[in-house]
Structure 1
Amino acid sequence: MSTTVYDSFLFRDMFGTPAMREVFSDSAYVRRLIDTETALARAQAKVGIIPAEAAEDITRKADFDSLDLERLRAETEIVGYPVLPLVKQIADQCGDAGHYLHWGATTQDIMDNAVMLQCKQGVALLAAQLDRVRDALRRLAEEHADTVTAGRTHLQHALPVTFGYRCAVWLSALDRHAERLEQARARALMVQFGGAAGTLASLGDGPEGLLARAALAEELGLADPAITWHVTRDGLVELVSLFASVGGSLGKIAWDVMMMCSSEYGELAEPFVPGRGASSTMPQKRNPISSELMFAAAKLLRDKSSTMLDATMQDFERATGPWHLEWATVPEAFLLLSSSLHQAEFMLSGLEVRTDRMRSNTLLTGGLIVAEAVMMDVAPVLGRNQAHEVVYEACRAAIETGTTLEAELLTHDDLVRHLGAARIKELCDPARYLGSARAMTRDVVGRR
């Protein structure tokens, strides 16, 4: 019976994806342990540490399907780690070649490499998901580059913007995250092979140890670091911290979308699927479920990042516990971000954009959203300070009487004489005061 949302029959696809769960499943992890052991044998054979025939036998005979998994589980609980119990079973499978299995390695070497291989697969999945979300945002930004909507600061109308501009702002952050993910992939995914204290002393004082590590890195498709990293966990911390940052950017999108989906705004709706977001008591409800899950994932990812920072503080040449924090935290971080990206792709790809409602909402304050535009145009005529006073008084009167900014400005004879009624009407159109919003939107959309 499952006990967490990550493996729950009910909730698992709301807090992860099937593809990412498979990457971090028990069976996949044990297979990656075996992959590491066989790759180590091949690497050591290449540099002459063990016989080539032994490496061939180990690679051919090490078999996940022949393992006694219940025995492996029970012995892992006793030992505290799965590698020793696994090596015993694999060595038996390999016969005489089993004497060369796990040569010069320590438990953490094998476990860290297995995690690196999982991370390598997981990052590839996340990168592809992130690209699809970026594509969905790019389409929205391009399509709505001219769709005027209310820009809001402190939840109040500020100045007009376009919905495309807002989408491009969201997209710009994810574009930077995609770049960061590629950089982290190259920097953080490192091979681990150091032996008992990280010095490769079990392989002697010659070059064989470092040559074997380089060959292992090549076998596994991981970077070969300058020095053993088994107590400097910054690579994994970087990945999980980056995931928290990406999750936060997705959470910002979710928060904006949820607000714009509210009945009072009515500017957006998540894709319609019969029954999705429904209430058991209120038939009219259509809750923004994807955005809610993205928002929750952002908060949970922040917690994972904090835990990983704790795990990075390890003592001397083998930690006395912080390592264990990673076993729970790393898989959950991958699951959470994969879920958030999945929800984002679904939501943004089918987002209902209600352009008429956006336009009408910009007029809710009777044109006050363009007060700055009017002031800046009037300033050369009346002077900056007097222009501010005139527009300020017009805004105050419009608020108190329930009229519009345009109507109040038209009562100012000097203003009408200098500008004319037509110019005042033009200045009060939100679409006329968008600054460089369109240009910036198209710049972001054009970048790949």
Structure 2
Amino acid sequence: MTQPTDVYDNPLIGRYASTEMAERWGPLRKFRTWRRLWLALAEAEAELGLLADDGKSPRITQAQLQELASHLDDIDLKRAAVHEKRLRHDVMAHIHALGDVAPGCKEIVHLGATSCYVTDNADLILMRESLNQLCATLASVIDALATFSKTWKDEPTLGFTHFQPAQLTTVGKRATLWLFDFVLDLKELERRRDKLPFRGAKGTTGTQASFLALFRGDHEKVKALDQLVAKKMGFENAGVFPVTGQTYSRKIDTQILDALNGLAQSAHKWGTDLRLLAHRQEVDEPFEAEQIGSSAMAYKRNPMRAERMCSLARFISGLPAMAANTVSTQWFERTLDDSACRRLYVPQAFLATDAVLRIALNLVTQRTGPDNRGLMVNRPVIAKNVREYLPYMVTENLMMAAVQAGEDRQEVHEVVRQHSHAVTARVKAGEGTTAELLEALQRESAFKKIDFAAIAGQAPREFVGRSPEQVEEFLADHIEPIRKRYASVLGKTAELHV
């Protein structure tokens, strides 16, 4: 007999995602949600006065509803699998499995509904819950990264454009760039969560014909049924889709996956920056006491968290294309070629995004003790790199002072360009130092009218512009509202499975 260890195990389940997210997209949760949807439909039909064939007595009794309500969670997956092997239909298999344990309510289950009543509505419920979890975790990442940003708001460091040394910034100001991307992602995830509608009770091709027949042509009751089922399942604020075919528009899937992809882009960018900073030995990710960087090179300290985050983000970014193809190839009211691929890319998009956020939170969360301290800023290395390139950074202030003293801006720029490139060539040849640049410029007539020593002798802190102030303003204006909104869930940590 095949054992679980003998077959492929999806790494998103075994290695990366949280148990909470994995269980949400597991079979038990799905099928229990189906039963709750059947109960909500039956309750709504009863409350709206659905009558039996005699036109007088109730079609659905309280006893039947109570029996159905008492069997929401006792799912027999093996029994359902037997039914599905025979019927080749997953929804019908679970209707039969429910009927096996609740025979008294068999005739009221799925009354007037099509399979997509449970499959689509369940997916929407699970997606909304997943978005809510992702928003909470992302808020925790933002909170922790904001603390990091404030801690290092005054620490001068080299800025980079084209990955070449540029004007100074601060370690904390750079972190606000990562933060702002995540803030934009949070807004988009919240928007998708809060505006996500319910498919409701629309019937086989979205016309509600079956429900109109059940309610003997009463259009108002059919409309009320749609809204009442949505309310019972917690979608009273977002409401229902105004129109559907057999399925809700698969464009909703693409919009949600695009939002998850946006978050993946931000995480990948941050992870890439961390990997580059690790190469420069300026910032290190957590590295535990017994952690091994390489099986061969014992000295290695690889940024494996950031690398894993980038790798999973890349996986997420590949999924929206499949969802887009699904939207493009749905024929008329629906075709079933959406089903198999959606079983893969919808859950896996959420599992992978959850995994990315768990890594992000593990990366940035400050913890006590000698190990796992969160991101580690190596101040001596940063200061050394700043000193090496500071002469180049000073030139912009020298140029502005010279122009204010009456010099031609373009002529001053050319003087700086020629000397800086000449010094750089000497440094690369191992024949000089960057300090020679200021010595050369001081001899130029273009800078004779300014207090050269006063400008060139300033500390690195004087060349970071408004970086510290920008950090404070950004945190106050954009992060504090998020902290207030998610106060009840902040402070969580995330340990990696492996």
SS in 2 for 1:431: helix
2 CA distance for matches of 1:250 and 1:316?
38
- Sequence identity (%): 24
Q: Which residue of 2 aligns with 1:22?
A: 23
Distance of aligned partners of 1:147 and 1:80 in 2 relative to their CA distance in 1, 3 Å threshold: farther
- Out of 258, 261, 286, the residue aligned to residue 244 of structure 1 is 261
- Out of 342, 345, 359, the residue aligned to residue 343 of structure 1 is 359
SS in 2 for 1:364: helix
Matched, 1:357 2:357: no
SS in 2 for 1:160: strand
Contact 1:397-1:408 at 8 Å conserved across structures = no
Distance of aligned partners of 1:68 and 1:46 in 2 relative to their CA distance in 1, 3 Å threshold: same
Distance of aligned partners of 1:372 and 1:73 in 2 relative to their CA distance in 1, 3 Å threshold: farther
Deviation at 1:63, TM superposition (A): 4.1
Deviation at 1:39, TM superposition (A): 1.6
Deviations 1:253-288 (A, max 9, x none): 0000011011xx101111121333521112212211
Distance of aligned partners of 1:137 and 1:7 in 2 relative to their CA distance in 1, 3 Å threshold: closer
Give the letter aligned to residue 53 of structure 1.
Answer: Q
Distance of aligned partners of 1:124 and 1:276 in 2 relative to their CA distance in 1, 3 Å threshold: farther
Q: Which runs of 5+ in 1 are unaligned?
A: none
Deviation at 1:221, TM superposition (A): 0.9
- Out of 100, 103, 107, the residue aligned to residue 111 of structure 2 is 103
Matched, 1:62 2:71: yes
Deviations 1:24-43 (A, max 9, x none): 11111111111211121122
Matched, 1:13 2:15: yes
Of residues 279-288 and 220-229 in structure 1, the stretch that sits farther from structure 2 once superposed is: 220-229
Of residues 372-381 and 131-140 in structure 1, the stretch that sits farther from structure 2 once superposed is: 372-381
Deviation at 1:150, TM superposition (A): 0.9
- Out of 386, 402, 406, the residue aligned to residue 411 of structure 2 is 386
Distance of aligned partners of 1:58 and 1:111 in 2 relative to their CA distance in 1, 3 Å threshold: farther
Matched, 1:293 2:318: no
Instruction: Work out the number of aligned pairs and report it.
Output: 439
- Out of 1, 8, 32, the residue aligned to residue 3 of structure 1 is 8
Deviations 1:187-244 (A, max 9, x none): 2242332111111101114222221111110111123222226251122221111111
2 CA distance for matches of 1:329 and 1:276?
33
2 CA distance for matches of 1:139 and 1:269?
17
Contact 1:374-1:391 at 8 Å conserved across structures = no
Q: Which residue of 2 aligns with 1:44?
A: 45
Matched, 1:305 2:320: yes
Q: Which residue of 1 aligns with 2:295?
A: 280
Contact 1:243-1:333 at 8 Å conserved across structures = yes
Contact 1:141-1:164 at 8 Å conserved across structures = yes
Give the letter aligned to residue 229 of structure 2.
Answer: L
Deviation at 1:372, TM superposition (A): 2.5
Give the TM-score taking structure 1 as reference length.
Answer: 0.92
Deviation at 1:52, TM superposition (A): 4.5
Deviation at 1:421, TM superposition (A): 3.9
Deviations 1:160-204 (A, max 9, x none): 111111111111111111111111012224233211111110111
SS in 2 for 1:226: coil
2 CA distance for matches of 1:34 and 1:281?
54
Q: Which residue of 1 aligns with 2:270?
A: 253
Give the letter aligned to residue 48 of structure 2.
Answer: V
Matched, 1:377 2:401: yes
Distance of aligned partners of 1:333 and 1:397 in 2 relative to their CA distance in 1, 3 Å threshold: same
Deviations 1:363-384 (A, max 9, x none): 3335213432322222222221
Q: Which residue of 2 aligns with 1:163?
A: 171
Contact 1:269-1:352 at 8 Å conserved across structures = yes
Distance of aligned partners of 1:288 and 1:414 in 2 relative to their CA distance in 1, 3 Å threshold: closer
2 CA distance for matches of 1:158 and 1:87?
66
Give the letter aligned to residue 350 of structure 2.
Answer: F
5 Å matches for 1:174-213? 174-204=182-212, 205-206=217-218, 207-213=220-226
1 CA distance for matches of 2:381 and 2:283?
9
Contact 1:42-1:55 at 8 Å conserved across structures = no
Distance of aligned partners of 1:5 and 1:373 in 2 relative to their CA distance in 1, 3 Å threshold: farther
SS in 2 for 1:435: coil
Deviation at 1:78, TM superposition (A): 5.4
Give the letter aligned to residue 6 of structure 1.
Answer: P
2 CA distance for matches of 1:372 and 1:52?
82
Contact 2:135-2:189 at 8 Å conserved across structures = yes
Of residues 27-36 and 219-228 in structure 1, the stretch that sits farther from structure 2 once superposed is: 219-228
SS in 2 for 1:312: helix
1 CA distance for matches of 2:313 and 2:140?
19
Deviation at 1:355, TM superposition (A): 2.2
Contact 2:394-2:456 at 8 Å conserved across structures = no
